[in-house]
Structure 1
Amino acid sequence: MQTRRKPFHKPVVVKNKPAVDQVTGEKIPKSFVFARGNLPGPLKQLKLDLRKLMAPHTALKLKEKKRNNLKDFLNVAGPMGVTHFLMLAKTASSPYLRLARTPQGPTLSFKIHEYALASDIARSQARPRCPPDLFKNSPLIVLSGFGSGGQHLKLTTIMFQNIFPAIDINTVNLSTCKRIVLLNYDKDTKLIDFRHYSIRLQPVGVTRRIRKFVQSHQVPDLRNLQDVSEFITKAGYGSESEADDEAATVSLASDVGRVNRASNRSAIKLQEIGPRMTLQLIKVEEGLCSGSVIFNEYEKESTEGDQEDDGEPTSQ
């Protein structure tokens, strides 16, 4: 008795299409954050902190091996729609951060003068705040002081603006704006202060107890009170003075949550969540970690790309 063979169907290979923002219609940038060479423990944690900062459009659990070179990451980046590389390296003199656009550059090299991990920032605060839904959306980015420099600073501005999705101020959902990355350039020191904050809104003129009551949906304990007014006016739970600062208050275009209404003014409160870095732009290369040098802070590298003697790591 002959068995009937099942017809063979050639599998159809579907290429990954680049993710597109449903509102703006623009391609959503994605990133890889990885190390070049061996990193000490604190820099390994900085790498993980940067991955979390770049969430959700990054590979949080990107696997790295010692034998991987830059071409290996580039081969994987294409099918996955990855647009930017953030690469950490350590030399005998200093740690470095490279920001590159794939697949053809340019590449910006920064010397890391100082840095603090997210855990360091949290330990320095009396009430650290990091809710679980904080990293579901990309952060906003604000750049200050970059307009007073040359072409290399303009390119730096464009690169940092493009590593996060663009927003449309007319249609953006305010409830998704929960983080902000701030970069401030000091033209005197030529240093860039890199900061990462969470954004919190508080209604102006509403006591802390009432605000927590509305947000938690829980019935308050009134057993030890003579009157309901004591729940509202009890000492220590009045309106916080910093929330009533006129300079820090805004009128919302739409309601955000249950307590921040468009009809009332709300206070914007920023709380640093890290990581924190002090960066110095030292080199801009035309290609992906290669090619002619557009800018060189030390003015020791020729246009052919000869390695300078400041200890900057070479690409592999």
Structure 2
Amino acid sequence: MEYLEFELPIKELEEQLEKASKIGEESDVDVTATCKQIETKLKETKRDIYKNLTAWQRVQMSRHPDRPYTLDYINAICGDSFLELHGDRSFGDDKAMIGGLGKIGDQSFMVIGTQKGVNTKMRQYRNFGMASPEGYRKALRLMKSAEKFGLPVVTLIDTPGAFPGLEAEERGQGEAIARNIFEMTKLMVPIIVVIIGEGASGGALGIGVGDRVLMLENTWYSVISPESCSSILWRSWEHKEKAAEALKLTAKDMKKMGLVDMIVKEPVGGAHRDREKTFSTVQKEILKSFEELKNLSPTKLVKERMNKYDQMGVFKG
């Protein structure tokens, strides 16, 4: 288990507890009282640290290398029922964008999401979760297929942004994202969006329009990353913590501004500390959201979705 800088006090206490337990196992010394004392201190430390995380610390949590990625959620929630579909039928198959049919409980869904990769080789293969135009066009093709067959759509967002390379711009990156946003607003089936990690810029918005937008507790959602914001405003990444606070990018901020519908609680220490519990919670919330939407007519579904996004933001004349 890797520890972030602000988690080092927890690491020290866990190491102390492990050493004390080992001494008790290898000798006749009674360490029960000592272990209980360390456990109590550990619980208090965890509570104090995770209860008061700053915006930048939440960003760090969302990028934790042990945090589950899109395919982890798909494999855990859909199991063997997931059938991946490939290609945009125009240019190619973007490996940063995963999509296919799968069952959650007894209900079939079209599941789409950005995949980062779990090691260096896979990150390069997945382009670090940064989708190209063909990725967004593949996502749109799958959404249109879901609409044709009356299947609800689930999207899982975890991306540092859309791929900014020259070749992506030449193939119409901006148009592909804009087209997805436009088409998703009027898709005739329920759309449930879950932000499971980073939700950066148009890379997230390209699959981020939904009837229900759920956001895990230790994730972020913003037009720009704190580092990029800092480099633009202060010509340096040194002010990324200040930028994170100013951007109001945490789940709590997003819920307060009405940009997401629900904050999904994570296990103490983050989603990576108890993956199974996280998967179970996300599955439950997806099915709960679908139950709220499944009986709406397509016309009412689109109308409510459009009204929801029309009411976002504040204008002062």
TM range (shorter): under 0.3
- Which has more helix, going by share of residues? 2
Larger radius of gyration: 1
- Normalising by structure 1, what TM-score? 0.22
Which protein has greater RCO, CA pairs closer than 8 Å, 6+ apart? 1
- Which has more strand, going by share of residues? 1
- Normalising by structure 2, what TM-score? 0.22
